[in-house]
Amino acid sequence: MGQENPTSVIVWFRNDLRLADHAALAAAVKADAKIFPVYILEDTVAGGRKLGGASKWWLDKSLKSLRSAISQRGGKLICRKGDAEKVLHDLVSETGADAVFWGRRYTQPEMDRDADIKKALQDEGIEAESFNTCLLTEPWSYQTTSGGYYKVFTPYWRAVRSSFEAPDPVQAPETFAGIGINGDEIESWELHPSKPDWSKGFDDMWTPGEEGAQERLQSFLDGPVREYEEMRNRPDQDGTSGLSPHLHHGEISPATVWRAVMGRINRGLQEEESAWSFLSEIVWREFSYVLIYHNPKMGRENYDSKFNKMEWRSNKKDLELWQKGKTGYPIVDAGMRQLWATGWMHNRVRMIVASLLTKHLLLNWTEGEDWFWDTLVDADPASNAAGWQWTAGSGADASPYFRVFNPITQGQKFDQTGAYVRRWCPELKKLPNKHLHAPWEAGRHVLEKAGIELGKTYPRPIIEHRQGRQRALDAWETLKGKQ
């Protein structure tokens, strides 16, 4: 083991790209040590996968923001690429650091890799310590009365709500070291997408980095939090926080969010239940981590193994029409185009598009999860897998497979004003609300007047709703017969 009080610490940033309320940085501050901030671009990340394209876009901006915050404090963010164990080994000798601190990850094979790195450092006589930097509580913190982790969300939420208290925030360092230590230029990593660069719309929507995260939280608390419970399902409204990519990249800690919301509740926010409803979503994120921590294969494999025998179709053409937002179901197409244009999609619409893929199109949820992984700026190994498996019916506490969302009525109910479809499917913008979510039901004159030619300017439905629903239910019956 290293010495009790390190004098010089490498803080290895991962999905915790911030200075405020960062337990690993705080431990280094407490030891009064010199801090060498490091980021390592590893070949694979969560679940042994490569970073998705949209995540790379975000990472590029977020690292630049962190680099600038560190340089304002007199230091340098040392960026290196490659095998983390080797990079850290080299950096220990180049900096003379006697400790390495980092935030924990909860996916495999990353946890094993981190354990190996810890051991290798300790064998060299270097103190190596990991901290919780990205969750409210560790995935093993809450146990059911009969022992074991929570497999159902509601009791987990009740347990967290009644007992969790966010610890006091920890202080950001005032100074950093690192000047004079070699590192790559972030620009040389070419994280910004090319061939094609589909990220042009991202800049209009996002400000990656710690400041952007704080601004998002503030603007959410100044307005939408009050009506969150009512508006959170409405993609035609700005009813949610948009914090997911900031939370995923760790630009704000969930404890900071929790404290800020609790602050409003404690000061007598009238719409208290709305604020609690928002906190429950923050806890859905935690729950996803509980699930993946205890089921490391959940990122790629069915949580419920009975789905291993599901007879998914294999159909590249249908998959591509779904990916491109050309299914002929306006709410689905709007969602898929929003995803492509902004790197984000509203939660309600994520459920609708996932239901269409896994039920009407009978394609394996992993195909949708892969697409989301590549195109979402908040692509997260735990929440993405949990969201897909929840919708497909194969997850823990999942929506049953036979619950097939009707993309027409979902659109009518949640995009009541039609603003969402009109924004992302402008070719439908002149259709009256009555027909907006089912253009094929509009009469010839209505379509003509709206300038729509079905099959040409906008597709006909990829599969008729009742037919798609029936095919899904039949597949479900066949699966049940195999048990």
Is 469:359 a contact under the CB 8 Å cutoff? yes
Candidates 285, 359, 422, 437; binder of ligand FAD (CB under 6 A) is: 285
Is residue 347 annotated as part of the catalytic site, yes or no?
Answer: yes
d(CA 138, CA 149): 11
Name the residue among 389, 404, 403 with its Cα closest to residue 304.
389
Name the residue nearer to ligand FAD (CB basis): 108 or 389: 389
Q: For tokens 């997850």, what's the residue?
A: 395
Give me 282's structure tokens: 């923050």
Residue 122 in contact with ligand FAD, rule: CB under 6 A: no
User: At its nearest, how many Å lie between ligand FAD and the CB of residue 435?
Assistant: 27
Is residue 284 annotated as part of the catalytic site, yes or no?
Answer: yes
Candidates 65, 133, 288, 327; binder of ligand FAD (CB under 6 A) is: 288
Give me 210's structure tokens: 């710690």
* Cα 218 off chain centre by: 20
d(CA 251, CA 214): 9
User: At its nearest, how many Å lie between ligand FAD and the CB of residue 323?
Assistant: 14
Any binding-site annotation on 244? yes
Give me 103's structure tokens: 């935030």
Sign of the dihedral defined by the CA atoms of residues 418, 424, 429, 431, in that order: negative
d(CA 308, CA 369): 16
Q: Is 27 helix (H, G, I), strand (E, B) or coil?
A: helix
Chain positions 353 to 392 lying near ligand FAD, rule: CB under 6 A, are: 354, 372, 376, 378-380, 383-384, 387-388, 391
User: At its nearest, how many Å lie between ligand FAD and the CB of residue 389?
Assistant: 9
Give me 255's structure tokens: 């404890």
d(CA 408, CA 306): 30
Chain positions 331 to 360 lying near ligand FAD, rule: CB under 6 A, are: 347, 350-351, 354
Of the candidate spans 128-136, 137-145, 279-287, 414-422, the one that interacts with ligand FAD by CB under 6 A turns out to be 279-287
Chain positions 390 to 449 lying near ligand FAD, rule: CB under 6 A, are: 391
User: At its nearest, how many Å lie between ligand FAD and the CB of residue 81?
Assistant: 25
Question: Of 206, 322, 340, 365, which is the active-site residue?
Answer: 365
Q: For tokens 């963010």, what's the residue?
A: 77
Q: At what angle do helices 84-95 and 110-123 cross, to 10 degrees?
A: 30
Residue 156 in contact with ligand FAD, rule: CB under 6 A: no
Chain positions 216 to 235 lying near ligand FAD, rule: CB under 6 A, are: 232
Any binding-site annotation on 341? no
Is residue 281 annotated as part of the catalytic site, yes or no?
Answer: yes
The type of residue at 327 is T
Is residue 388 annotated as part of the catalytic site, yes or no?
Answer: yes
Any binding-site annotation on 269? no
Using alpha carbons only, how large is the chain's radius of gyration in Å? 24
- The site for ligand FAD, by CB under 6 A, has a size of 27
Is residue 157 annotated as part of the catalytic site, yes or no?
Answer: no
d(CA 459, CA 335): 15
d(CA 296, CA 255): 25
Sign of the dihedral defined by the CA atoms of residues 275, 276, 282, 284, in that order: negative
Is 403:360 a contact under the CB 8 Å cutoff? no
Q: Give the C-alpha distances (Å, rounded to integers) separating 78 from 17, 179, 229.
A: 13, 9, 43
Is 226:269 a contact under the CB 8 Å cutoff? yes
User: At its nearest, how many Å lie between ligand FAD and the CB of residue 240?
Assistant: 3
Is residue 198 annotated as part of the catalytic site, yes or no?
Answer: no
Question: Of 206, 371, 373, 388, which is the active-site residue?
Answer: 388
Any binding-site annotation on 228? yes
Candidates 25, 29, 261, 282; binder of ligand FAD (CB under 6 A) is: 282
Name the residue nearer to ligand FAD (CB basis): 67 or 234: 234
Candidates 55, 132, 244, 327; binder of ligand FAD (CB under 6 A) is: 244
Any binding-site annotation on 199? no
The type of residue at 379 is A
Question: Of 281, 301, 315, 440, which is the active-site residue?
Answer: 281
Residue 284 in contact with ligand FAD, rule: CB under 6 A: yes
Any binding-site annotation on 242? yes
Any binding-site annotation on 240? yes
User: At its nearest, how many Å lie between ligand FAD and the CB of residue 231?
Assistant: 10
Name the residue nearer to ligand FAD (CB basis): 97 or 396: 396
Question: Of 198, 276, 284, 476, which is the active-site residue?
Answer: 284
d(CA 382, CA 392): 15
Beta pairing, strands 34-41 & 78-81: parallel
Name the residue nearer to ligand FAD (CB basis): 330 or 387: 387
Residues of this chain that interact with ligand FAD (CB under 6 A) are 232, 240-244, 247-248, 281-282, 284-285, 288, 347, 350-351, 354, 372, 376, 378-380, 383-384, 387-388, 391
Binding site for FAD, residues?
Answer: 228, 240-244, 278, 378-380
Query: Which sequence positions are flagged as catalytic?
Result: 281, 284, 312, 347, 365, 388
